[in-house]
Structure 1
Protein backbone atom coordinates (compact mmCIF):
# COMPACT_ATOMS: atom_id res chain seq x y z
CA UNK A 1 0.00 0.00 0.00
CA UNK A 2 1.31 3.39 -0.99
CA UNK A 3 0.79 6.47 1.21
CA UNK A 4 1.32 10.17 0.88
CA UNK A 5 1.78 12.81 3.58
CA UNK A 6 -1.11 15.06 4.58
CA UNK A 7 -1.81 17.46 7.41
CA UNK A 8 -4.86 16.86 9.60
CA UNK A 9 -6.60 19.88 11.10
CA UNK A 10 -9.19 19.95 13.86
CA UNK A 11 -11.16 23.12 14.61
CA UNK A 12 -13.05 23.42 17.92
CA UNK A 13 -16.25 25.50 17.86
CA UNK A 14 -19.66 25.69 19.48
CA UNK A 15 -22.95 25.47 17.59
CA UNK A 16 -24.26 28.67 19.11
CA UNK A 17 -21.84 30.84 17.15
CA UNK A 18 -23.06 29.46 13.79
CA UNK A 19 -19.46 29.96 12.68
CA UNK A 20 -19.16 26.37 11.46
CA UNK A 21 -21.37 27.09 8.42
CA UNK A 22 -19.10 29.94 7.34
CA UNK A 23 -15.98 27.83 7.85
CA UNK A 24 -17.47 24.80 6.09
CA UNK A 25 -18.34 27.00 3.10
CA UNK A 26 -14.80 28.40 3.07
CA UNK A 27 -13.25 24.92 3.18
CA UNK A 28 -15.58 23.52 0.51
CA UNK A 29 -16.18 26.40 -1.90
CA UNK A 30 -13.05 28.55 -1.66
CA UNK A 31 -10.26 26.29 -0.46
CA UNK A 32 -11.60 23.00 -1.91
CA UNK A 33 -9.78 20.85 0.64
CA UNK A 34 -9.66 17.09 0.14
CA UNK A 35 -12.25 16.26 2.81
CA UNK A 36 -14.14 17.70 5.79
CA UNK A 37 -16.17 16.09 8.55
CA UNK A 38 -18.28 17.91 11.15
CA UNK A 39 -18.80 16.31 14.57
CA UNK A 40 -21.33 17.41 17.18
CA UNK A 41 -20.27 16.77 20.76
CA UNK A 42 -22.57 15.89 23.63
CA UNK A 43 -20.50 17.68 26.28
CA UNK A 44 -17.42 19.87 26.37
CA UNK A 45 -15.74 22.91 27.83
CA UNK A 46 -12.94 25.21 26.84
CA UNK A 47 -10.82 27.98 28.28
CA UNK A 48 -13.84 29.72 29.84
CA UNK A 49 -14.69 26.62 31.86
CA UNK A 50 -18.35 26.87 30.85
CA UNK A 51 -19.71 23.37 30.24
CA UNK A 52 -21.72 22.97 27.05
CA UNK A 53 -23.89 19.89 27.40
CA UNK A 54 -26.96 18.27 25.90
CA UNK A 55 -29.93 17.30 28.02
CA UNK A 56 -33.67 17.03 27.62
CA UNK A 57 -34.11 20.36 29.41
CA UNK A 58 -31.43 22.22 27.46
CA UNK A 59 -32.71 23.42 24.10
CA UNK A 60 -30.03 26.06 23.47
CA UNK A 61 -28.18 24.02 20.83
CA UNK A 62 -24.90 25.49 22.03
CA UNK A 63 -23.11 22.14 21.86
CA UNK A 64 -19.43 21.64 21.08
CA UNK A 65 -18.55 21.08 17.43
CA UNK A 66 -15.44 19.88 15.67
CA UNK A 67 -14.65 20.46 12.01
CA UNK A 68 -11.87 18.19 10.83
CA UNK A 69 -10.16 18.25 7.44
CA UNK A 70 -7.00 17.15 5.69
CA UNK A 71 -5.02 17.94 2.58
CA UNK A 72 -1.46 18.24 1.32
CA UNK A 73 0.76 20.07 3.83
CA UNK A 74 1.43 23.07 1.54
CA UNK A 75 -2.27 23.60 0.88
CA UNK A 76 -3.16 23.27 4.57
CA UNK A 77 -0.59 25.95 5.41
CA UNK A 78 -2.40 28.37 3.08
CA UNK A 79 -5.81 27.41 4.49
CA UNK A 80 -4.58 27.88 8.06
CA UNK A 81 -3.46 31.41 7.22
CA UNK A 82 -7.07 32.18 6.23
CA UNK A 83 -8.59 30.36 9.21
CA UNK A 84 -6.37 32.09 11.77
CA UNK A 85 -8.17 35.36 11.06
CA UNK A 86 -11.58 33.71 11.70
CA UNK A 87 -10.91 31.37 14.63
CA UNK A 88 -9.91 32.32 18.16
CA UNK A 89 -6.37 31.37 19.20
CA UNK A 90 -6.15 27.92 20.76
CA UNK A 91 -9.07 26.44 18.77
CA UNK A 92 -7.13 24.92 15.85
CA UNK A 93 -4.99 21.81 16.22
CA UNK A 94 -2.99 20.22 13.39
CA UNK A 95 -0.67 17.26 12.97
CA UNK A 96 1.09 15.33 10.18
CA UNK A 97 -0.50 12.08 8.95
CA UNK A 98 -0.46 9.75 5.98
CA UNK A 99 -3.30 8.85 3.64
CA UNK A 100 -3.45 5.75 1.47
CA UNK A 101 -2.95 6.95 -2.07
CA UNK A 102 -4.18 3.89 -3.91
CA UNK A 103 -1.22 4.01 -6.29
Structure 2
Protein backbone atom coordinates (compact mmCIF):
# COMPACT_ATOMS: atom_id res chain seq x y z
CA UNK A 1 0.00 0.00 0.00
CA UNK A 2 1.00 3.60 -0.55
CA UNK A 3 -1.22 5.82 1.55
CA UNK A 4 -4.72 4.44 1.08
CA UNK A 5 -4.09 3.02 -2.41
CA UNK A 6 -2.49 -0.16 -3.67
CA UNK A 7 1.18 0.53 -4.40
CA UNK A 8 0.89 -0.73 -7.98
CA UNK A 9 -1.82 1.88 -8.71
CA UNK A 10 0.23 4.70 -7.17
CA UNK A 11 3.31 3.67 -9.17
CA UNK A 12 1.31 3.33 -12.39
CA UNK A 13 -0.10 6.83 -11.86
CA UNK A 14 3.41 8.17 -11.26
CA UNK A 15 4.68 6.64 -14.51
CA UNK A 16 1.67 7.95 -16.43
CA UNK A 17 2.08 11.49 -15.06
CA UNK A 18 5.81 11.42 -15.83
CA UNK A 19 5.07 10.49 -19.46
CA UNK A 20 6.64 7.02 -19.48
CA UNK A 21 6.34 4.97 -22.66
CA UNK A 22 4.50 2.13 -20.93
CA UNK A 23 3.74 0.24 -17.73
CA UNK A 24 2.26 -3.22 -17.14
CA UNK A 25 1.23 -4.73 -13.81
CA UNK A 26 1.25 -8.51 -13.48
CA UNK A 27 0.03 -10.59 -10.51
CA UNK A 28 1.91 -13.82 -9.91
CA UNK A 29 0.25 -17.07 -8.95
CA UNK A 30 2.98 -18.02 -6.48
CA UNK A 31 6.41 -16.99 -5.29
CA UNK A 32 8.62 -16.02 -2.38
CA UNK A 33 11.00 -13.19 -1.57
CA UNK A 34 13.68 -12.11 0.87
CA UNK A 35 11.77 -13.42 3.90
CA UNK A 36 11.37 -16.81 2.20
CA UNK A 37 7.62 -16.89 2.85
CA UNK A 38 5.86 -18.89 0.15
CA UNK A 39 2.82 -17.08 -1.25
CA UNK A 40 0.35 -18.97 -3.41
CA UNK A 41 -3.20 -18.60 -4.62
CA UNK A 42 -3.89 -22.12 -3.31
CA UNK A 43 -3.95 -20.87 0.27
CA UNK A 44 -6.98 -18.61 0.66
CA UNK A 45 -5.54 -16.76 3.65
CA UNK A 46 -2.44 -15.70 1.67
CA UNK A 47 -4.14 -14.97 -1.64
CA UNK A 48 -4.24 -11.20 -0.99
CA UNK A 49 -0.43 -11.15 -0.71
CA UNK A 50 0.51 -12.63 -4.09
CA UNK A 51 3.66 -11.50 -5.90
CA UNK A 52 3.36 -8.44 -8.16
CA UNK A 53 5.55 -7.42 -11.07
CA UNK A 54 5.44 -3.87 -12.42
CA UNK A 55 7.22 -3.51 -15.74
CA UNK A 56 8.12 -0.03 -16.88
CA UNK A 57 9.49 0.89 -20.30
CA UNK A 58 11.40 4.08 -21.03
CA UNK A 59 14.90 5.51 -21.33
CA UNK A 60 17.54 5.06 -18.65
CA UNK A 61 17.46 8.81 -18.03
CA UNK A 62 13.73 8.89 -17.42
CA UNK A 63 13.88 5.89 -15.09
CA UNK A 64 16.79 7.44 -13.18
CA UNK A 65 14.84 10.69 -12.80
CA UNK A 66 11.99 8.99 -10.89
CA UNK A 67 14.04 6.52 -8.84
CA UNK A 68 14.12 8.82 -5.77
CA UNK A 69 10.28 8.89 -5.81
CA UNK A 70 10.11 5.13 -6.29
CA UNK A 71 12.51 4.62 -3.37
CA UNK A 72 10.21 6.74 -1.18
CA UNK A 73 7.15 4.72 -2.18
CA UNK A 74 8.53 1.16 -2.07
CA UNK A 75 9.49 -0.07 1.40
CA UNK A 76 9.89 -3.76 0.55
CA UNK A 77 10.39 -5.83 -2.56
CA UNK A 78 12.93 -6.08 -5.32
CA UNK A 79 13.74 -3.55 -8.03
CA UNK A 80 15.68 -4.71 -11.08
CA UNK A 81 16.78 -2.87 -14.18
CA UNK A 82 16.95 -4.67 -17.50
CA UNK A 83 17.85 -3.37 -20.91
CA UNK A 84 15.28 -4.07 -23.60
CA UNK A 85 15.44 -3.88 -27.35
CA UNK A 86 12.20 -2.32 -28.55
CA UNK A 87 11.27 -3.73 -31.92
CA UNK A 88 8.05 -1.77 -32.37
CA UNK A 89 6.23 0.87 -30.34
CA UNK A 90 3.05 2.01 -32.08
CA UNK A 91 -0.51 3.04 -31.43
CA UNK A 92 -3.25 2.27 -33.90
CA UNK A 93 -5.11 5.50 -34.56
CA UNK A 94 -8.84 5.40 -35.03
CA UNK A 95 -9.89 6.19 -38.56
CA UNK A 96 -12.18 9.18 -38.88
TM-score (norm 2): 0.73
RMSD: 2.4
| Structure 1: segments with no counterpart, 5+ residues | 1-16
Offset, 1:32: 1.9
Q: Hey, what does 1:75 align to over in structure 2?
A: 62
Q: Which has the larger radius of gyration?
A: 2
| Structure 2: segments with no counterpart, 5+ residues | 90-96
* Regions of 4+ moved over 4 Å: none
TM-score (norm 1): 0.69
Q: Hey, what does 2:38 align to over in structure 1?
A: 51
Q: Tell me which protein shows more helix as a share of its residues.
A: 2
State the number of aligned residues: 85
